[in-house]
Amino acid sequence: MADDDSRAGSRYATRPILDWCAQTHAPHDAALARAFATPEGVPAIMVGPSEGQLLALLCKLAGARKVVEVGTLVGYSTIHMARALAPGGHLWSIEFDPKHAAIARDNLAAAGLADRVTVVEGAGVDVLPTLEPHGPFDVVFIDADKVNYDRYGAWAIANLRPGGLVLGDNSFLFGELMDESDRGRAMRGFHELVAKSCDSVNIPTPDGLVLGIKRPS
d(CA 194, CA 81): 21
Is a pLDDT exceeding 90 seen at residue 35?
yes
Residue 197 pLDDT:
97
pLDDT, averaged across the chain: 95
Looking at per-residue pLDDT, the higher value among 1 and 34 belongs to 34
- Which tens digits make up the pLDDT trace of 179-199? 999 999 999 999 999 999 999
Q: What is the pLDDT of residue 124?
A: 97
Average pLDDT over residues 36-64: 94
What's the pLDDT at 38?
Answer: 86
**pLDDT over 70 for what percent of the chain?**
99
Region 69-95: mean pLDDT is 98
Which residues, at least 6 apart from 39, have a Cβ–Cβ distance to it below 8 Å? 74, 103
DSSP secondary structure string, the chain? ---HHHHTT-----HHHHHHHHHHHS---HHHHHHHSPPTTS---SPPHHHHHHHHHHHHHTT-SEEEEE--TTSHHHHHHHHTPPTT-EEEEEES-HHHHHHHHHHHHHTT-TTTEEEEES-HHHHHHHHGGG-SEEEEEE-S-GGGHHHHHHHHHHHEEEEEEEEEE-TTGGGTTTSSSHHHHHHHHHHHHHHHHEEEEEE-STT-EEEEEEPP-
Q: What percent of the chain has pLDDT over 90?
A: 90
> Has residue 1 got a pLDDT over 90?
no
Q: What is the pLDDT of residues 145-169, one digit of tens each?
A: 999 999 999 999 999 999 999 999 9
Please tell me the predicted confidence (pLDDT) of residue 9: 73
Give the CA distances from residue 63 to residues 10, 66, 138, 164, 169, in Å, rounded to whole numbers and listed in that order: 35, 9, 8, 10, 21
Confidence check: pLDDT of 36 > 90: yes
The mean pLDDT value for 107-130 works out to 98
In the prediction, which pLDDT does 13 show? 81
Domain boundaries, the chain: 13-214
pLDDT of 120 over the 70 cut? yes
Q: Nearest Cα to 30, choosing from 111, 101, 102, 113?
A: 111
Flag whether pLDDT at 8 surpasses 90. Answer: no
Does the domain at 13-214 match CATH 3.40.190.10? Answer given as no
pLDDT greater than 80 at residue 3:
no
CA 82 – CA 136 distance, rounded (Å) = 17
Query: What span, in angstroms and rounded, lies between the C-alpha atoms of 39 and 36?
Result: 9
pLDDT at 11 over 90: no
Whether 7 shows a pLDDT value over 90: the answer reads: no
